[in-house]
Amino acid sequence: MSENILRYDSKKKDVVILIDRNLCKGCDICIKVCKPECLALVDAPDKWEGAVVDVVNADDCTFCKLCELQCPDFGIRILRKDEVGKIQFGDTKKTAAEQ
């Protein structure tokens, strides 16, 4: 996995949250739609935007995928652990049945 892709595994559920720092522009849309408040902006001086999204509580993720669906840059993926490696960032051709 690329060093720019951050992986967070839930200890309570079979859920993995992946964030691609190259795609995240720090717009905070995902944070606003996350009701369990699993996400937050963190400083990222290496990014021109100055911030990227980070996971602050993967264990509270409900797997609703609202953050993934609302991200305008496809910078966040919510997957079951068995899907990791099978679905890539930008893989928008998969149907709901395939995911």
Please report, for the domain that includes residue 11, its CATH number.
3.30.70.20
What is the residue-level pLDDT of the chain in tens, covering all 99 positions?
Answer: 577 898 999 998 899 999 999 999 999 999 999 999 999 999 999 887 899 999 999 999 999 999 999 999 999 999 998 888 877 666 554 434 444
Half-sphere exposure of 28 (CA within 13 A, CB side): 9
Q: Is 70 within the bounds of a domain?
A: yes
CA–chain centroid gap for 63, Å, is 11
Burial code (b: 16+ CB inside 10 Å, e: under 16) for 47-59 equals eeeebbbbbeebe
Give the per-residue pLDDT at 84. 86
Q: Return the pLDDT at 12.
A: 86
Query: Within a domain: residue 71?
Result: yes
What total number of domains does the chain contain?
Answer: 1
In terms of residue numbers, what domain contains 41? Answer: 5-83
Residue 88 within any structural domain of the chain: no
In this prediction, residue 91 carries a pLDDT of 58
